[in-house]
Structure 1
Amino acid sequence: MTKDVIALTPEMPDTWALLAGLYAGGPGVDIATAEDGAVIQLCGPGGRPLVSVEAPVLVQVPGEALRLLGSDAAVPFWWTEARASTAVPEAEILAGSVCGRLTSLLGGTIWPPGATTTEVVDVSAVPAPADGQPAVDVLTDSTAVVLIDRPVVALTSWLSAVLRATSSAGRALQIVTPPHVRLSLPARTTLAQIPNRWVVQDPDCGYYDGLSGAVLRWQNGTFAPALTTDGRPAVAEAFADVSPSTEHQFVVAFRTVRPADEHLLLGRALETAWKALTGAPPAGWGTAEPVSLPWSPRQLTDLARDRAPEPTQVIAVGHPDRPAMATMRVIRTAAGVEEDIRLTLGYRADEIPPLATVEALAETLVTDHGLVTMLTSLRRARHDLTTPSRLEAPPVPQSLTLGSDDVAAIGLTHARRPPVDVRPAQFGPGARPALHYPLGDGTDPGAWTTLQHLTAHLRAAPGTAR
């Protein structure tokens, strides 16, 4: 099991500050490196890893500490994360001492507050290692299990590295948390992908899947659903025993394609959507959480070009007064450069999502940004955009937009006459327009049936792939 301690400091932890932290274990601690030097490990007798200290990250985006830890810090600040193996009791104190010494020298705060200490920790009596290290708590032939206890499980650079390692080894990643823990949107997307899983501890049933509610048992080296006598997965009572949320999340999922030339600037379509829906551009972007860089389409474009032809996955966040987060995947295709974007905005019970702006946004994206498709939806869920280990309502479709290429492939006459009570709006040149289909206000689940009939009609067009 691992225990996280995080130092938030106004100054960068330089070499001397880091050395002061690393000597919290006294002469009995050895130092090693991992991840090409980006991680420093404090090791006990026999080389047993006790604490891993990540390279400090400069966070220049307001609200990230509050979003992920519940304790705010004035930007810019340095985020230094230490992970301790709780298989050894002294390791947790050692992690607190490492971070405590950093804040003593540099100022700032520690999360969790109770972890603060500057004492030297005697690790000379720590038993020799098994084969563990503090990144993964249980490793089997099929699964890597990580235990996490923090307010929000985020897609940190460390977790991304664990995910890459488990995926390349053909293993599933399973994260085990107490029931009060929530997932950030990027972490939820990652754990929703098969074969990964979010495992929630429960005093009544033992464990359950935090996204589906299925009761889980440790079977053959992995957490798997426990079946009832009729062969169906059992559902945890804690997962289903909830009241519907009065808050909302508005989801705008769209895809654009632009020619791959030297004038292309990525992120502009996302910025356009963000401004249309919130009145301001994104606050920051990055490849992991916490999101650390001020919003810059130019820097985003440079990163994607450096990584090409490999795809680039980035995260964007909004200003603290308007919860908003997007994931964007940039890939090179035969048609050009594709941006696959999912923007989610949160609204309290007394706030009205900006549904009235969607049609105008769709037209702008078609005209200026090469929109291929866009689907908007509304769901009753937490306005802070985190996912609890409880049942949440599925999204309800609000509109569908098809770009001019798809409309041309389907045939304009066929696309304009769906067998449902929907009349599409037409954008762009009359000879080659895009179509926008309004599906309702996002509150009637019957919109799913309407969308299914509409998409079936569009796929049935002469010459369209079935």
Structure 2
Amino acid sequence: MTKDVIALTPKMPDTWALLAGLYAGGPGLDVSATADGAVIQLCGHGGRPLVSVEAPVLVQVPGEARRLLGIDVPVPFWWTEARASTAVPEAARLAGSVCGRLNALLGGTTWPSATATTEVVDTDAVAASGADQPAVDVLTDSTAVVLIDRPVVALTSWLSEVLRTTSAAGRALQIVTPPHVRLSCPARTTLAQVPNRWVVQDPACGYYDGLSGAALRWQDGTFTPDLTGDGRATVADAFTSVTPSSERQLIIAFRTLHPADEQLMLGRALEAAWQSLTGTAPAGWGTAEPVNLPWRPRQLTDLARSRVPGPTQLIAIGHPDRPSFATLRVTRTTTGVEEDVHLTLGYSKDETAPLDAIKPLAEALVTDHHLTTMLTSLRQARRDLTTPPHLEAPPIPHSFTLGPKDVRDIGLTHARRPPLDLRPTQLGPAAQPALHYPLGDGAGADHAWTTLRRLAQHLKQA
């Protein structure tokens, strides 16, 4: 059940190559554009989209094809994605012919390889509702349903456009996948937001929520929890009957607040954290997946400036030998420019997470990057940072750092004397210190969460 086909070419698909690809359905199909021209659609009778072809993306970051598709492609390469509508049986063959023709002209490879052809596909599509949506499979008054079957569901520009249009229409986005599919970090964040949902179709137990495990059923045009007679939700057996992962993830969530001036360079705090924990800077950044741009803080800053006063949401990725991924949200506030960073790194059972680097990192962020808060956690989860549709352990707090401004507002004496069996370490200048609180060793979940909760209550009392 392949719905997506991707052409990975060493040369840019120019106008003539794209025309050759779009002619895969013969002269009887219409061509339209959506998403401000970023998506080209091959349409059948009545304007029903059969195949949506995204604008080619130049990927200059190594490892993205391996991370998202499971294949190795040398960089740089052009990523051209075609998505077939499931409403018409011939549409999948049409998408394969579009990408196969691009590869025939430009070289490279097609994913999945078996779908690549150069044949002219005879289609006889009928008009249907939902022609304004980029290849949505089911559209109801409340929900847009998209069927995806690929190794990793990523937050591509196409999926971002689907999310934008469904949200603007007041609908939920529900993505339906087979049980072998996983989510990338940005896709997981998107589908964890209400009212969106990741729906897993399991042959043994039917439909369930891939993040919560709740058994689901189709009712009134949407997937909703399948409640028992007394109104209780049930959890699918497929979600819980798994062996816990022996791999681990280190999660660093921190926030900085910079004075707003022309000399500000965004991304430096994130780069410092990456350098401290991996020994290298990030490999690349972008606004969607695949992450396509080499790491350049100046370009990142220019993009954020161009979007003021609105916020900017960005993603960054590390080198393939050390799985690492981050989201960065830049917001202009009344007091300055805020960077909200969520950095995750993956480790195998034979690797040791660099917990001894956390306190020096916190001090560097306090001294050089205007840190306000930082929370470090550990969790048992996949090294490759993807999310499977199985139960995973929640993160366990390891340490918390409170920046100088909040320490000053709370009061140093009160902040450094919580009613707990711990004593914070003072960081930064003595005149304006930050406080670093150890919360545990990353193993005892109940103790660590209780300690963090009591610490937060103590700090709020001030």
Q: Which bin holds the TM-score, normalised by the shorter protein?
A: over 0.9
1-structure distance, mates of 2:48, 2:243: 46
Aligned match of 1:234: 234
2-structure distance, mates of 1:434, 1:48: 59
Are the counterparts in 1 of residues 401 and 435 from structure 2 also a CA contact under 8 Å? yes
Aligned match of 2:397: 397
SS at match of 2:96: helix
Are the counterparts in 1 of residues 24 and 97 from structure 2 also a CA contact under 8 Å? yes
Shift of 1:219: 1.6
2-structure distance, mates of 1:127, 1:155: 30
* Counterparts in 2 of 1:34 and 1:459: CA distance versus 1, 3 Å: same
Aligned match of 1:182: 182
2-structure distance, mates of 1:349, 1:7: 35
Alignment gaps of 5+ in structure 1: 462-466
1:290 maps onto 2:290 in alignment: yes
Shift of 1:66: 0.5
Shift of 1:341: 0.3
SS at match of 1:159: helix
Are the counterparts in 2 of residues 253 and 341 from structure 1 also a CA contact under 8 Å? yes
Q: Which residues of 2 match residues 154-233 of structure 1 at below 5 A?
A: 154-233=154-233
Shift of 1:426: 0.2
Query: What is the percent sequence identity of the aligned residues?
Result: 75
Aligned match of 2:449: 448
* Counterparts in 2 of 1:134 and 1:404: CA distance versus 1, 3 Å: closer
SS at match of 1:422: coil
SS at match of 2:26: helix
2-structure distance, mates of 1:165, 1:65: 27
2-structure distance, mates of 1:298, 1:196: 34
SS at match of 2:372: strand
Q: Which amino acid aligns with 1:126?
A: A
1:243-298 residue CA offsets vs partner (Å, 9 max, x unmatched): 11100000000000000100000000000000000000000000000000000000
Aligned match of 1:350: 350
Instruction: Give the TM-score normalised by the residue count of structure 2.
Output: 0.98
Aligned match of 1:20: 20
1-structure distance, mates of 2:49, 2:429: 64
SS at match of 1:89: coil
Q: Which amino acid aligns with 1:176?
A: V
Aligned match of 2:145: 145
SS at match of 1:349: coil
SS at match of 2:376: strand
SS at match of 2:4: strand
Shift of 1:134: 4.9
Number of residue pairs matched by the alignment:
460
SS at match of 1:327: strand
Are the counterparts in 1 of residues 134 and 162 from structure 2 also a CA contact under 8 Å? no
Shift of 1:230: 3.2
2-structure distance, mates of 1:337, 1:22: 45
* Counterparts in 2 of 1:131 and 1:448: CA distance versus 1, 3 Å: closer
Instruction: Give the TM-score normalised by the residue count of structure 1.
Output: 0.97
Are the counterparts in 1 of residues 49 and 135 from structure 2 also a CA contact under 8 Å? no
Are the counterparts in 2 of residues 2 and 86 from structure 1 also a CA contact under 8 Å? no
SS at match of 1:330: strand
Aligned match of 1:41: 41
Q: 450-459 or 314-323: which moved more?
A: 450-459
Aligned match of 2:301: 301
2-structure distance, mates of 1:429, 1:323: 34
Q: Which amino acid aligns with 1:92?
A: A
Are the counterparts in 2 of residues 110 and 116 from structure 1 also a CA contact under 8 Å? yes
2-structure distance, mates of 1:83, 1:304: 30
2-structure distance, mates of 1:407, 1:126: 65
Q: 258-267 or 451-460: which moved more?
A: 451-460
Alpha carbon RMSD of aligned pairs, Å?
Answer: 1.2
1-structure distance, mates of 2:431, 2:14: 62
Q: 229-238 or 376-385: which moved more?
A: 229-238
Are the counterparts in 2 of residues 424 and 438 from structure 1 also a CA contact under 8 Å? yes
Shift of 1:397: 0.3
2-structure distance, mates of 1:167, 1:43: 24
Aligned match of 1:323: 323
Q: 33-42 or 272-281: which moved more?
A: 33-42
Alignment gaps of 5+ in structure 2: none
Q: Which amino acid aligns with 2:112?
A: P
1-structure distance, mates of 2:33, 2:313: 27
* Counterparts in 2 of 1:127 and 1:142: CA distance versus 1, 3 Å: closer
2-structure distance, mates of 1:2, 1:219: 26
Are the counterparts in 2 of residues 58 and 79 from structure 1 also a CA contact under 8 Å? yes
1:457 maps onto 2:458 in alignment: yes
2-structure distance, mates of 1:205, 1:109: 36
2-structure distance, mates of 1:46, 1:188: 35
1:422-450 residue CA offsets vs partner (Å, 9 max, x unmatched): 11000123232100001122111111111
Shift of 1:26: 1.2
Shift of 1:409: 1.2
2-structure distance, mates of 1:278, 1:190: 27
Q: Which amino acid aligns with 2:86?
A: T
SS at match of 2:6: strand
